[in-house]
């Protein structure tokens, strides 16, 4: 009798425990969580402690991984910031929105360009806004500002579903810091300067010849040459000579607050704004997208982090970013929001191998993976950190090796918010919740297409029945010098032309056996070679049938500097202001 009573008691207790666990999970899933998205800039997968780095300290990102889920095959949709972020925001390959370039300009070059994320693209911020979320973006945008006038703000974050914006409408560049070598269009600037010198020399020669009687030419013709040369010089120097004023600015919503920005206080301002946004909206639900300016060059780092890492200035900058992550996570704890916040950390693409200053490496480390930023197919340019945390809902300490994409964040957060995905367009991302919770063992992605600009360079096939991850490279960059693993001397590898090699048959790898892409498989030794190539070829044909022509946002016309589109806090061209003053505070 005693044993029977004990058995009944035990079964009742277990049933009650199971009920309350399921009830708690269901209640958590039924409510709308706050959503906090961290996206680093140019961070390599090998730069984070939880991904194997032991020379840079990242305890706060490591804490997220320890308390949540770590993805080991998290893939960016593009190896460069503007197209990758467009895909992240829309859940779609950038070629679908026109944010993939067919020319050499693969990212937006100016705040005063006319290209940008089209108004007819629907971001996850817009869908969450419709579900009652207060939405904010702190940090880097780099999706354009204006279309036809300096204040139409057609591409602005507030026109794409964000209620609040504070940060850079552009991206950090070396040009933003004094005494740094210029980074924007260096080759073109050199050509324009050469042309200016040639024109000047021609005018001086004609003038001297006219005065000495050696050349018979009317003064009007010489005056026309002089005027043309002057206009040419003024036009290019007014743009490239003042990059710091035109591109390195801060905005709060529609207003320019710093022009040019003061880098020594930017990190403090960004952190302050993120903290204030959470405090203002602690009763939720809120979406906060913290889009770091770290760790893009020029790697400006505040004094208390300089010289603290074992990896030079780059490591210092990574550690400062991790500290900022920690401050925001601490605030969630303090406000009692930790268990009700879905948190995500990633990078927009791989580390920039070619970023160097003499012998000093200023770009990230991509671990065992070949290639880096700008390389459309090689893993080092597109495989990035991916970490999720939601205590009580996502199992802690979990590692998932299935292929996933930054585009998956779109349907995932829309699902969590109770929204519905747009039905009038292709959404390439997949809802990750079942995979993250362990209710699904396999990724929903069968194929992932790896573009360099608008040029398809490689395709990944997830053969779910065997576990193989096949990857076919149709185009690869030509490394310089040969065998160097990057395009040193060029700044970034090209997508087409003489700087790439076309492969027929394509280079084939099985990433499940060779994640470093060290040894391509051969038709003579790999029995499935022809079968895999045919399967991937059919997938490419099907994929291309889903593409529709759209205006190219990164066309030469759209990326060129247009003075009438320049955001300005004064009267153009006298654009200068500092509305922040000393508004930073100790955090």
Nearby residues of 163 by Cβ (< 8 Å), 6 or more positions away: 129, 134, 135, 136
Active site residues: 81, 142
Rounded to whole angstroms, the Cα distance separating 546 from 195 reads: 45
Q: How far is CA 203 from CA 191, 221, 238, 303, 514, in A?
A: 18, 10, 21, 50, 61
Please report the DSSP string for 303-356 in residue order. GGGTT-SSSHHHHHHHHHHHHHHHHHHHHHHHTT-GGGEEEEEEESS---TT-E
Contact 144, 116 (CB under 8 A): yes
Rounded to whole angstroms, the Cα distance separating 404 from 388 reads: 13
- Residue 534 has a CB neighbour count (10 Å cut-off) of 10
Please report where in the chains the tokens 């740094």 appear, as a residue: 180
Select from 158, 236, 41, 139 the least CA-distant residue to 246. 236
Rounded to whole angstroms, the Cα distance separating 73 from 547 reads: 26
Rounded to whole angstroms, the Cα distance separating 386 from 337 reads: 21
Contact 486, 354 (CB under 8 A): yes
Please report the DSSP string for 1-59 in residue order. -HHHHHHHHHHHHHHHHHHHHHHHHHHHHHS--EEEEEEESS--GGGSGGGT-SSS--H
∠ Cα 563 568 574 (to 5°): 80
Q: Within 13 Å of residue 293, how many CA atoms lie on the same side as its CB?
A: 30
Contact 43, 311 (CB under 8 A): no
Identify the DSSP state of 573: T
Helices 186-212 and 219-240 meet at what angle, rounded to 10?
Answer: 160
Please report where in the chains the tokens 């290639």 appear, as a residue: 371
Select from 236, 147, 129, 227 the least CA-distant residue to 193. 236
Rounded to whole angstroms, the Cα distance separating 519 from 292 reads: 36
Which pair of structure tokens corresponds to residue 248? 């390195």
Which pair of structure tokens corresponds to residue 348? 């927009």
Helices 312-334 and 59-66 meet at what angle, rounded to 10?
Answer: 50
Rounded to whole angstroms, the Cα distance separating 77 from 407 reads: 7
Helices 81-90 and 409-416 meet at what angle, rounded to 10?
Answer: 30
Contact 352, 365 (CB under 8 A): no
Nearby residues of 213 by Cβ (< 8 Å), 6 or more positions away: none
Q: Within 13 Å of residue 418, how many CA atoms lie on the same side as its CB?
A: 13
């Amino acid at each position: 009798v005693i044993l029977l009573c004990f058995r009944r008691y035990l079964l009742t207790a277990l049933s009650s425990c199971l009920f309350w666990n399921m009830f708690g999970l269901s209640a958590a899933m039924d409510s709308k969580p706050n959503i906090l998205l961290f996206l680093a800039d140019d961070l390599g997968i090998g730069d984070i402690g939880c991904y194997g780095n032991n020379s840079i300290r990242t305890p706060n990102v490591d804490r997220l991984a320890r308390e949540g889920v770590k993805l080991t095959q998290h893939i960016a949709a593009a190896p460069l910031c503007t197209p990758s972020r467009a895909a992240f925001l829309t859940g779609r390959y950038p070629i679908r929105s026109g944010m993939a370039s067919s020319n050499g300009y693969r990212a937006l070059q100016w705040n005063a360009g006319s290209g940008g994320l089209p108004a007819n693209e629907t971001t996850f911020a817009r869908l969450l806004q419709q579900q009652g979320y207060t939405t904010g973006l702190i940090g880097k945008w780099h999706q354009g500002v204006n279309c036809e006038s300096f204040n139409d703000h057609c591409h602005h974050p507030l026109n794409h579903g964000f209620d609040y914006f504070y940060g850079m409408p552009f991206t950090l560049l070396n040009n933003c810091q004094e005494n740094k070598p210029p980074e924007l269009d260096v080759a073109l600037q050199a050509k324009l300067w050469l042309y200016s010198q040639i024109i000047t020399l021609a005018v001086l020669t004609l003038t001297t010849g006219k005065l000495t009687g050696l050349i018979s030419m009317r003064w009007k013709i010489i005056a026309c040459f002089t005027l043309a040369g002057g206009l040419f010089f003024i036009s290019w120097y007014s743009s490239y000579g003042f990059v710091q004023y035109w591109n390195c600015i801060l905005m709060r919503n529609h207003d320019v607050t710093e022009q040019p920005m003061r880098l020594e206080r930017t990190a403090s301002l960004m952190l302050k704004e993120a903290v204030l946004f959470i405090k203002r909206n602690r009763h939720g639900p809120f979406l906060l997208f913290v889009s770091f300016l770290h760790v893009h060059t020029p790697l400006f780092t505040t004094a208390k982090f300089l010289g603290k890492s074992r990896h030079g200035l780059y490591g210092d900058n990574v550690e400062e970013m991790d500290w900022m992550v920690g401050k925001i996570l601490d605030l969630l704890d303090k406000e009692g929001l930790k268990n009700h916040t879905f948190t995500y950390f990633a990078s927009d693409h791989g580390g920039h191998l070619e970023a160097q200053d003499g012998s000093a490496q200023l770009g990230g480390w991509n671990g065992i993976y070949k290639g880096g930023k700008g390389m459309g197919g090689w893993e080092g340019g597109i495989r990035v950190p991916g970490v999720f945390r939601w205590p009580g809902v996502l199992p802690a300490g979990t590692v998932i090796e299935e292929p996933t994409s930054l585009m998956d964040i779109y349907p995932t957060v829309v699902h969590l918010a109770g929204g519905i995905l747009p039905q009038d367009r292709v959404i390439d991302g997949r809802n990750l919740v079942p995979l993250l919770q362990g209710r699904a063992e396999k990724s929903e992605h069968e194929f992932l297409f790896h573009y360099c600009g608008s040029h398809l360079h490689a395709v990944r096939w997830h053969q779910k029945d065997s576990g193989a991850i096949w990857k076919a490279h149709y185009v690869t960059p030509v490394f310089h010098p040969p065998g160097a693993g990057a395009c040193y001397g060029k700044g970034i590898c090209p997508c087409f032309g003489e700087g790439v090699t076309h492969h027929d048959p394509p280079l084939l790898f099985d990433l499940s056996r060779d994640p470093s892409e060290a040894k391509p498989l051969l038709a003579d030794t790999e029995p499935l070679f022809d079968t895999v190539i045919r399967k991937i070829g059919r997938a490419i044909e099907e994929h291309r049938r889903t593409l529709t022509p759209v205006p190219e946002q990164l066309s030469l016309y759209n990326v060129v500097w247009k003075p009438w589109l320049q955001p300005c806090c004064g009267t153009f061209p006298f654009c200068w202001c500092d509305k922040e003053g000393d508004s930073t505070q100790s955090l």
